Chains A and B, each alone.
Chain A
Amino acid sequence: MGDTAMENVLAAIDASAYATSVCGYAGWAAKRLSLPVELLHVVQRQDAITARKDLSGAIGLGVKSDLMEELVRLSEEGSRTEIEKGRVMLKAGEQLLRESGITDISTLHRHGGGGRDHSRARRSRPRGCHGQARRRPRICLGPYRLDDRARGEVE
């Protein structure tokens, strides 16, 4: 990496107990380095397939479209609550950082999908949250329990 000037501090938060300390450290690092903070939360969708309790093994008329609709409906509801939770988390994190005197804060709310992606093609494609941003070096803090998409960001 030629240009090592850091552009921001990335704080990745989730619902775990670490989120508060991540924000604390991010605030500390940002102050020492005079860098803006970027707060990231990745929405992890619940797995609708394993959430279903159906071992009947019977398939009937229009099973493919019915199953598709049911799976979409199941994850749709879950995702909405997850998004709301994520918003609250990001807001709380932002609040924490503001209290520690950081003013330059940006938030990033991304979908991490269902958690499983088996295509090699998709994995090899570069994943930037916003274009060129991913090439910029930065300090990353947070529980590294993110899916590939977000991992492409922090590794």
Chain B
Amino acid sequence: MFDIPTLRREWLSNPRRDILAGIVVALALIPEAIGFSIIAGVDPRVGLYASFSIAVIISLVGGRPGMISAATAAIAVLVLPLIQQYGVEYLFAATILMGVIQVIAGFLRLHLLMQYVSRSVITGFVNALAILIFIAQLPELTGVPMLTYVLVAAGLAVIYILPRLTKAIPSPLVAIIILTTVVYYMGMDVRTVGDMGELPSSLPSWLIPDVPFTLETLQIILPYSATMAAVGLLESMLTAQIVDDLTDTGSDKRQEMKGQGIANFFTGLLGGMGGCAMIGQSVINVKSGGETRLSTFVSGVFLLFLLLVLGPLVAIIPMASLVAVMIMVSIGTFSWRSIKDTRTNPWQSSVVMIVTVVVVVWTHDLAQGVLAGVILSGLFFASKVKRLFTVDTDLSADGTTRTYRIGGQVFFASSDRFVEAFDYKEVLDRVVIDVSRAHFWDISAVGTLDKAILKFRREGTAVEVRGLNEESAGMIERYAIHDKPGADAQLGGH
């Protein structure tokens, strides 16, 4: 990993573009870090330190160069109850534990679980995330003077119209500068970043969270840490996939999981909140020409530079301009295509997508939404596969023996159809059940066959089962994975 050609490729293959992209991204990190510190109910400092520390650490130890990680919406919405109930020190402790869990997940290769997350669930996740980011802006948009709406609209106008004139400067930055200047010099009475809490004035320092190291503390933080770890890894794996596709390069997902863990662990020790990869900002990075570790690193360092050097200026930025930037991130994260696709996709996939979104928005927990989506897509899959089941039957010439030929997939969902396939009331001497073209997947299927045989025997009919060699059925199942190309690599590891 640390050989010179790899280092050069991952850091210095195009330093100029990467540094520029990193600076553009840093500007998009500030609103999210500040905005979601406020959502989580902590000082902007907590989010800003976290974004700096996560971005810098992940650039060193992550597995997906060019991906941007920092303090995120997905994590911030989870921790509000913890902070309200127990205070911010518990957030730091939970973040440290979150990192530990993520590193363990990396060693356990849990990224392989992503295989079971269908495309519809992923789309639902992305859309739900976009909606969460948008909802998080609502407190800044309700019960505020009309002027705020005007400022947000003006900010959005600058963000989207300026790139038509020039693509040489980041339009979100221009929007922030224009709005700040106007608000400051015209003395408008709107909320600014300085009103939201303390901004960092020094480098973050190491600290051990001020919590009692007892089992009770662990019981308090563990549920939060586990959810934060799961949500963080989900979004990171998803973003890594998006960056993989955009850059047409591979990434080391396992390393990325461990990297996320390491980044969160140390961020907790620095007094920051947990974070993960960010879809919107990663897209901005790639769009701006960033694709190595350098751009991620620069984004973190430049963020801190901005705060330490321009701190007093950051305090006068009106919240409305940050809201405009976050609305942009929300719009860019949302998959608008998925709405159009609902008309052409199978209804099941649309239902999975919508259920994922609804559960997330309802619970504010992306993990629960994904779980609901995965369960539902599994059920839909089972109900589709159970239709791969055929029965045909004929009666012998003397009318005493009937042969049933069963084909297809027999498993828990199709076992009812299997039982119903037989006419138990027909008077026969002998029944032959030919299952040589059927596959018995689980013990429900085997149990159903037993049940059918018993029902025939109760009527005094002799039953012969043909083609069921339990050894071979078991063999198929065991070898079913191995006959596909690349299975060794998946199972055996690297």
Contacts and interface: CB of A to CB of B under 8 A. Distances in A.
A49 B252 contact: no
A58 B252 contact: no
30 contacts: A49-B17, A50-B14, A50-B289, A54-B287, A54-B288, A55-B24, A55-B169, A56-B169, A56-B171, A57-B171, A57-B172, A57-B284, A57-B287, A59-B329, A59-B333, A60-B160, A61-B331, A62-B336, A67-B246, A67-B286, A67-B287, A71-B246, A115-B13, A116-B247, A117-B249, A118-B64, A119-B250, A121-B250, A121-B252, A124-B494
A55 B332 contact: no
A48 B328 CA distance: 24
Interface residues of B, number: 57
Given A55-B21, A124-B494, 13 more contacts: A54-B289, A56-B162, A56-B170, A57-B170, A57-B284, A57-B287, A59-B284, A64-B242, A118-B251, A119-B252, A120-B252, A121-B250, A121-B489
A56 B163 contact: yes
B288 A57 contact: yes
Interface in A52-76: 52-65, 67-68, 71, 75
B423 interface: no
Interface of B: 1, 9-10, 13-14, 17, 20-21, 24-25, 27-28, 63-65, 159-160, 162-163, 166-173, 242, 245-252, 255, 280, 283-284, 286-292, 328-329, 331-333, 335-337, 489, 494
A115 B20 CA distance: 21
Interface residues of A, number: 33
B167 A56 contact: yes
Contact of A49 (B170, B172, B289): B289
Name B's interface SS: helix
Interface of A: 47, 49-50, 52-65, 67-68, 71, 75, 113-122, 124-125
Name A's interface SS: loop
Nearest to A53: B167
A38 to B, nearest CB: 25
Contacts of B65: 116, 118
A118 B170 CA distance: 28
A125 B489 contact: yes
Nearest to B329: A59
Contacts of A52: 287, 289
A68 to B, nearest CB: 6
Contacts of A54: 163, 167, 287-289
Given A116-B9, A121-B489, A57 B24 contact: yes
A88 to B, nearest CB: 25
A116 B252 contact: no
